[in-house]
Amino acid sequence: MATKPPTKQTAKHQASELARTLDDSEEEIQTDAEVGQAHDLIASLLTRHRGEYVFRIGALPTLSQLMFGEPIEGTGWVGVTRSQAEVDKIHEMTIKVVEQMGGKVSTLFEARTDHPRVHLLLRLPPLSVSDVPEVRCAVVGNVDSGKSTTLGVLTRGALDDGRGRARVALFRHKHEVESGRTSSVGMEILGFRPEGSPILPASTHIGESGAIRQEKIGWEEISKESAKIISFIVTTDLAGHEKYLKTTLYGLTSGSPSCVILIVGANAGLIGMSKEHLAAALALTIPVIVCITKIDMTPPNVMEETVKQVVKILRSPGCRKTPVFVKSAEVAMELAPTFATDKLCPVFKISNVTGEGLDHMRTLLNLLPPSDNDKTKYSVDQPFEYSVTEVWSVPFVGTVVNGIVASGSIKAGETVLMGPDANGNYLQTSIKSMQKKRASVTSAEAGQTVSLALKRTKRQVVRKGMVIVKKMDEPPPRPIYKFEGQVLILYHNTTLQKGYQAMLHCGAVRQTVRITAMDHPQGVLRTGDRATVQFQFITHPEHMTLGSKILFREGTTKGLGVVTKLL
């Protein structure tokens, strides 16, 4: 019998398949292994993977077969083939060993077929709140696509009634309750326990009207119970409007999300600002997850057109992603650690009324790699640097800032420098206290999002985009008035010349800049042009670093680039 030639999709994931096959063959527990040997193996796995590991038992179908529905040939299985009795024995031994270590085991997927297999999530509880890993996800989409309702159902647990009941939990202001439309931008969190179950408030149904009364559960309680926290950077309804694109861009650049969840209404398709949000995520090279909502109310022919449109856009030359429709927990489990590097795009079809597809989405969220574990972005060995993304004045506490530790580590009580201010100077202060998701902590490391209460600091002297560094013998980072960047003009309706002004986004920095020079031979830039451009801040200096990604916009004009030189 002739061997079936590998498809393009199969070849595309060959490297990932090889890595997974080797990983499983080397780390398979034998049925005759002693408990001590199994204990050493599992302890090694959990140590190397920061207390969380997906353990696979039995032969597995290839990734292409799982994700794209290719037929499974007789030899189309990888790993060690087990009988059902062997799978059950290894399963029981794994549970016993992990529980002896103080951890928890949850079953992600189990199949009792000709090729029995089971996938287990092994997880150790974090030692303290400061050790709880966090995954930052930005939620974007067009107006009325279902962002607020989806987040309300994911974080609160109660399904929607089709008339917006679930989204009420996200309202923060009186005018939002009166109008029924969210207009603020904030953050919602979803915690997962060590055993893998989501932390949701208890709900009590009252009355014949179907109204739901939910017990309140605070962020501090969620943080203390969680083994992993998903932070949703919410750009809610009016942030889906064109006038609020600046707010969405600020959330994408300052929040440093690990992925973008693009919400698409099945009844309307990928329209309006959804395309702008997708383009911004691609420009910033942030992995994308597409969530098609309202499938319960959308006619089949409209649903089919929406799916075709989403697939066409994802596969277009400007996007170059392979859509994978998640229809099982096994597919969600396999996609979670690899979709970002393999240029895959998970696509969920969900209903917030019937609950269809929500469990698969929670499975993927539960298994996403933590944002603070990205060694390419964050280094604990470098000097401490903290980027300010939010500023508040809290009664009886004083000035509080929220942001991300870009490098190094910090402890409460240490003396720090904050700046640059309007004159390019750094102000000395100290950290009075620290909180992570509203739970008190005493230290923070690179990659973590924490809030700092600053001692004897006025609210007026702090702004978004400032940085906080430790007071040391070396001078603080030099304030930057001018810098040079290699840019690409995504769109401009005429020509872009010297003296042109635009709003620039770079991390938490958001300020108007002026083009002072460009190396283009004609002295003008048009759509699609690349050039080295010199920028100058209009109002005050900022902290910039080499290699940082920049986005600039003005009306319909949009460009992106990277900082190549500080002037």
Give the tens place of pLDDT for each residue, 397-416: 999 999 999 999 999 999 99
Per-residue model confidence (pLDDT) at position 26: 39
Q: In terms of CATH architecture, what is 129-373?
A: 3-Layer(aba) Sandwich (3.40)
**pLDDT value for 464:** 92
Q: Considering the domain 385-470 in this protein, what is its CATH number?
A: 2.40.30.10
Query: According to the model, what pLDDT value does residue 73 have?
Result: 56
Beta strands, E only, 59-103: 60-61, 77-78
Contact 484, 532 (CB under 8 A): yes
Tokens found for residue 104: 């928890």
Alpha-carbon distance of 330 to 185, in angstroms, equals 33
Amino acid at 551: L
13, 112, 3: which is closest to 68 by C-alpha? 13
Specify whether the CB–CB gap between 292 and 310 falls below 8 A.
Answer: yes
Two tokens, residue 518: 């460009």
With a cut of 50, which residues of the chain have pLDDT below it? 1-26, 173-180, 183-185, 206-209, 236-240
* pLDDT reported for residue 214: 58
**Encoded tokens for 79:** 């790993």
The answer to whether 471 and 435 are in contact (CB under 8 A) is no
Using a cut of 0.95, tell me whether the model's pTM lies above it.
no
Token pair recorded at residue 531: 């050039």
The rounded distance, in Å, linking the Cα atoms of 310 and 305 is: 9
d(CA 332, CA 66): 10
Of the candidates 566, 546, 547, 550, the residue with the CA atom closest to the CA atom of residue 558: 550
482-566 adopts what CATH topology? Answer: Elongation Factor Tu (Ef-tu); domain 3 (2.40.30)
pLDDT in tens, 45-87: 888 888 899 998 888 887 777 777 665 555 567 778 888 898 8
What are the structural domain ranges in the chain?
13-123, 129-373, 385-470, 482-566
What's the pLDDT score for residue 558?
87
> Could you tell me the end-to-end alpha-carbon distance of the chain, in angstroms, rounded to an integer?
67
Q: Token match 């009207």: residue?
A: 209
Same fold, 129-373 and 385-470: no
Q: What pLDDT is recorded for position 453?
A: 95
* CA separation for the pair 502, 279 (Å, rounded): 18
